[in-house]
Amino acid sequence: MKRSLTLLAFALPLLLAAQSGKLPAVTVQAMDGKKVSTSSWNNGGKPMIINFWATWCAPCKRELNTISEKYADWQKQTGVKLIAVSIDDARSMNRVAPYVNGQDWDYEVYLDPNGDLKRALNVNNVPHTFLVDGKGNVVWQHNNYEPGDENELYEQVKKLAGK
């Protein structure tokens, strides 16, 4: 069994080189209860940020609250759109709409209560952020959140938007 582990360990760095790819088509739930396929997500050729979060995740909320302060400027300058995917399950998914509105967020918010999209994008833990280009390719990602990470994210957004 050790051999197979070694095999995996060696294969991993190779795989890490392959970071881009199309956004997978998975069904999530909109805030109005309707089912939506991620294949319908688009931002008219402009970049999209896809952020995985949960109401029980402190750094996630810190990140989205920080970006929220700057979001209007980001949108104005680059046309970027942020999609916040909550992985709250049946226990806390009912808290998502009141929380989001209580924080005064302007993001598009979706629910992924059984982790279908989380699994399809191979997210281990939240927060996890993906940057998607105008053609629907995942071009950059970041796990975790530390104050200031939003600046790095925005640099990447600007690069994509050609600003």
Partner 1 sequence: MQASTPTRPGTGRQPSVRSIAGAAALLGALTLQAQEGGQVHGNFSTDGQLYNDDEQIGATAPPQDFGLNAWGNLNYSQGGFRAGVRFESYEPALLGYPAGARYSGSGIGYRYASYTKDDLEVTVGNFYEQFGQGLVFRSYEERYLGVDNAMDGVRLKFSPDTGIYLKGVIGRQRFGFENGFTKGDGLVRGIDGEVSLTEAFPRAFPKWVEKGRNLTLGGSFVSKFQADNDPLLDLPENVGAWGARANYTTARWNLYTEYAYKINDPNGSNGNIYNNGQALLANVTYSTKGLGVSAGAHSYDNMVYRSDRAAAPFDLNINYLPTLAKQHTYNLPATLYPYATQPNGEVSYQGEVFYKFKKGTPLGGKYGTKLAVNWCGAWSLDTTRVMNDTVHYLGYRTKFFRQGDRQYFSDLNVELRKKVSADWELALTYINLVYDIATVQGKPGQSVIYADMVILEGLHNFTDRNSLRFEVQHLSTKQDHGNWATALAELTFSPHWFVAAMDQYNYGGSVETEKIHYPIGTVGYIRGGSRFSFSYGRQRAGIFCVGGVCRVVPAANGLTASITTTF
Chain contacts with partner 1 (rule: CB under 8 A) = 1, 3-5, 7-8, 11-12, 14-19, 21-22, 24-25, 31-35, 55-58, 62, 89-95, 97-104, 113-116, 119-125, 128, 140-144, 146-149, 151-152
User: What is the 8-class DSSP label of residue 21?
Assistant: E
126 CB-contact burial (10 Å; exposed 0-12 / middle 13-18 / buried 19+): buried
For the bound state, the minimum distance from the C-beta of residue 80 to partner 1, rounded and expressed in Å, comes to 18
Output the smallest distance, CB 51 to partner 1, in A.
13
Q: Taking the complex as a whole, how short is the minimal distance between the CB of residue 45 and partner 1, in angstroms? A: 20
Nearer Cβ to partner 1 (73/152): 152
Q: Are strands 27-30 and 81-86 parallel, antiparallel or unpaired?
A: unpaired
Supply the minimum distance, in Å, between the C-beta of residue 83 and partner 1.
Answer: 17
Question: Other C-beta atoms within 10 Å of 129: how many?
Answer: 26
The residue among 33 and 162 lying less far from partner 1, judged by its C-beta, is 33
Comparing CB distances to partner 1, the nearer of 57 and 80 is: 57
Residue closer to partner 1 by CB (options 143, 163) is 143
Q: Which two tokens stand for residue 147?
A: 């104050």
CA gap 67, 73 in Å, rounded: 10
93: alpha, beta or left? (left if phi > 0; alpha if psi -120 to 50): alpha
